[in-house]
Amino acid sequence: MNIIKNDNKYGKFLREIKERIYRSQYDALKAVNKELISLYWDIGRGVIEKQKLFGWGKSVVEKLAEDLQKEFPGIQGFSKDNIWRMRKFYLNYVNNLKLAPVVQEISWAKNVVILESCKNDLERELKGSHLINSARD
């Protein structure tokens, strides 16, 4: 092997590759998160729309959770409590053009914290902006 461990050129090359790998991992995680948030938004919207359209009550959430957990046993996130959160998530942001794009950049766990701890849009906006900025640092 002709590469010397102390070779500065190789060390620089290795650092560049590692930085690229970390960047790719981060970008992939962001893409997965965005898709998950979009999925949860759609589920929340769907529950709201079907409840209004068909007059379904609370039991639809329990039935949906049960059926989704059977169909996707290895995927977490489809508990009845989480589906209620999806519904609340949609309701809280559907008419808020300022916050709706912000929450797509935050993980679901952090969105849940915001939903459950903030009482109004201003609190949600401040907390969401803080979480986004701290994630970028």
Separation CA 114–CA 129 (nearest Å) = 11
Separation CA 100–CA 92 (nearest Å) = 9
Q: Which residue has the higher pLDDT, 133 or 43?
A: 43
Kind plus residue range of the DSSP H or E element containing 75: none
Q: Tell me what pLDDT residue 41 has.
A: 97
Domain tally for the chain? 1
In a domain, 2, yes or no: no
Q: Which domain holds residue 69?
A: 8-136
In a domain, 86, yes or no: yes
Q: Tell me what pLDDT residue 100 has.
A: 86
In a domain, 1, yes or no: no
Instruction: Give residue-wise pLDDT tens across range 35-91.
Output: 999 999 999 999 999 999 999 999 999 999 999 999 999 898 999 999 999 999 999
Instruction: Give residue-wise pLDDT tens across range 113-132.
Output: 989 988 887 787 777 777 77
User: Quick one: which of 124, 53, 129, 54 has its CA closest to 88?
Assistant: 124
